[in-house]
């Protein structure tokens, strides 16, 4: 693709488009700092022959993004300041987890089983009584 280091040096460091003489931006210290912080690109510490310039399109995009980032920060700060102090916030009550959950389930199942047995016994008693009544009536 590229045959010499001079070819590489004539590319935009961000998008790798070929730079034209009128299309280059030598990044100012502010842009250098933004590139380091946001894109992890250190223009000043590139290997020998690597691009150290960016095109106008990338320069403008970085500047606009930094402006957008600042606007977003300011908006967040304003929203925090405007938030009423005594605002009612719907929250779900947090309760500590039941440590013996397995034991609780077993207890519940045991209670259900006992209740079921009582009902079954009660139904048996009712049937026995009804049968006795019928036999006594005959």
Confidence of residue 110 (pLDDT cuts 50, 70, 90): confident
Is 55 annotated in a binding site? The answer is yes
Q: What percent of the chain has pLDDT over 70?
A: 61
Place of tokens 């100012």: 28
Domain ranges of the chain: 5-82
Which pLDDT score, from 0 to 100, does residue 67 have?
93
Give the pLDDT of residue 97: 63
Whole-number pLDDT of residue 7: 79
Residues 6+ apart with CB under 8 A from 24: 53, 54, 55, 56
pLDDT of 120 higher than 70: no
Residue 15 annotated as binding site = yes
Which 8-state DSSP code applies to residue 11?
B
Buried b (16+ CB within 10 A) or exposed e, 101-135: eeeeeeeeeeeeeeeeeeeeeeeeeeeeeeeeeee
Q: Which of 26, 12, 21, 11 is nearest to 57 (CA)?
A: 12
Of 90, 98, 3, 8, nearest to 49 (Cα)? 8
Distance between CA 37 and CA 28 in Å, rounded? Answer: 14
The CATH architecture of the domain made up of 5-82 is 3-Layer(aba) Sandwich (3.40)
Confidence of residue 107 (pLDDT cuts 50, 70, 90): confident
Give the pLDDT of residue 51: 86
Q: Give the DSSP letter string of 83-109.
A: S-TT-----PPP----TTHHHHHHHHH
Asked if pLDDT for residue 55 goes beyond 80, the answer is yes
Q: What is the mean pLDDT of the chain?
A: 76
The tens digit of pLDDT for each residue in 60-94 reads: 999 999 999 999 999 999 988 887 765 555 666 67
In this predicted structure, the answer to whether residue 37 has a pLDDT above a threshold of 80 is: yes
C-alpha to C-alpha distance for 111 and 132, rounded to whole angstroms: 31
């Amino acid at each position: 693709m590229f045959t010499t280091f001079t070819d590489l040096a004539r590319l935009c460091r961000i998008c790798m488009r070929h730079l034209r003489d009128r299309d280059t931006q030598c990044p100012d210290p502010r842009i250098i700092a933004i590139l380091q912080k946001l894109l992890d690109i250190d223009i000043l510490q590139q290997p020998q022959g690597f691009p150290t310039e960016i095109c106008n399109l990338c320069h403008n995009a970085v500047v606009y993004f930094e402006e957008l980032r600042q606007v977003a920060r300011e908006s967040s700060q304003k929203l925090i300041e405007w938030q009423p102090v005594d605002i009612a916030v719907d929250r779900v009550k947090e309760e500590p987890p039941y440590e013996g959950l397995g034991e609780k389930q077993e207890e519940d199942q045991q209670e259900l089983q006992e209740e079921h047995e009582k009902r079954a016994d009660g139904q048996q008693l009712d049937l026995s009584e009804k049968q006795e009544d019928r036999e006594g009536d005959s």
